[in-house]
């Protein structure tokens, strides 16, 4: 029976030995890859692979991806989460044209708050100007209750007067350029 045990042990020792394939990554490099992926959540495997090459560590990108920390969700909030988290501070505005029976054109301005999807302001004029639009946003929100984010289309009707009015109501330049996005689907559907 002893010879059987020795034969069994030697057989499985030969079977379980490494036969080539991908070389193992040293433990220190695996820890380094893990730390880099935790410290830089926006970096992917190609970026970490490139940084390791700069350090003189030659590890393949698939090995880097294997040792990176797995994330459950995106590194930052998506558009849907942003709208949900900041709905009370978001307003959207859009202009539209209404032809009358006498073939005149009236221009409407609709400002809608996203918190409760309510209409904050509705204005109509035959001759829209940048000053008129700036006054409408002031009438809709007041000087002290301006929305944190204003979603609008960037047509030429708003003008520099409107931008200056937004800034005087509390919008900074960075918020202005980052928050002025395309008009959302809900506002366009409301105007139809």
The predicted-structure confidence for 53-110, as pLDDT tens digits, reads as follows 999 999 988 999 999 988 776 667 777 887 788 888 888 888 889 999 998 999 998 9
Task: State which H helix or E strand residue 151 sits in.
Answer: strand 149-151
Q: What is the mean pLDDT of residues 110-137?
A: 86
The residue among 174 and 67 whose pLDDT is bigger is 67
Query: Among the residues of the chain, which ranges form H helices?
Result: 2-15, 27-39, 45-54, 61-67, 79-85, 130-141, 159-168, 173-179, 185-191
For residues 48-52, give the mean pLDDT: 93
Predicted local distance difference test score (pLDDT) of residue 145: 73
How confident is residue 50, by pLDDT bands cut at 50, 70 and 90? very high
* pLDDT surpassing 90 at residue 52: yes
Q: Which residue has the higher pLDDT, 133 or 53?
A: 53
- Which residue did the predictor score with more confidence, 167 or 95? 95
pTM: 0.50
Q: Provide, for the chain, the percentages of residues in helix, strand and coil under a 3-state DSSP scheme, each rounded to the nearest 5.
A: 45, 15, 40
Is pLDDT above 90 for 13?
no
How many Cβ atoms are within 10 Å of 33's Cβ, its own excluded? 25
Is the model more confident about 172 or about 79?
79
Q: Report the alpha-carbon distance of residue 59 to residue 33 in Å, rounded.
A: 10
- Tell me, what's the pLDDT at 171? 64
Cα 106 to chain centroid distance, Å, stands at 36
Tell me the mean pLDDT in the region 143-156: 75
What is the H or E stretch that residue 154 is in?
Answer: none
Q: Indicate the SS3 state at residue 180.
A: coil
CA–CA dist 139, 165 (Å, integer): 12
pLDDT of residue 79: 76
- The band of 159, judged by pLDDT with boundaries at 50, 70 and 90, is confident
Q: Higher model confidence: residue 146 or residue 85?
A: 85
Residues 98, 109: Cα–Cα separation, whole Å: 11
């Amino acid at each position: 029976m002893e010879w059987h045990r020795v034969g069994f042990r030697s057989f499985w020792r030969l079977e379980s030995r490494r036969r080539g394939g991908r070389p193992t990554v040293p433990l220190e490099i695996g820890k380094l890859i893990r730390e880099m992926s935790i410290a830089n959540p926006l970096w992917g495997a190609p970026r970490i692979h490139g940084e390791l090459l700069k350090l003189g560590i030659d590890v393949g990108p698939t090995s880097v991806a294997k040792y990176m920390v797995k994330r459950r969700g995106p590194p930052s909030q998506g558009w849907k989460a942003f709208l949900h988290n900041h709905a009370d501070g978001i307003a959207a505005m859009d202009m539209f044209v209404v032809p009358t029976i006498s073939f005149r054109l009236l221009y409407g301005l609709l400002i809608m708050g996203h918190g409760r999807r309510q209409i904050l302001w509705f204005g109509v004029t035959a001759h829209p100007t940048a000053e008129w639009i700036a006054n409408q946003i002031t009438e809709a929100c007041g000087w002290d209750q301006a929305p944190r984010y204003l979603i609008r289309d960037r047509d030429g009707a708003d003008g520099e007067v409107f931008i200056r009015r937004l800034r005087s109501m509390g919008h900074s330049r960075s918020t202005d350029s980052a928050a002025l996005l395309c008009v959302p689907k809900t506002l366009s559907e409301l105007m139809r």
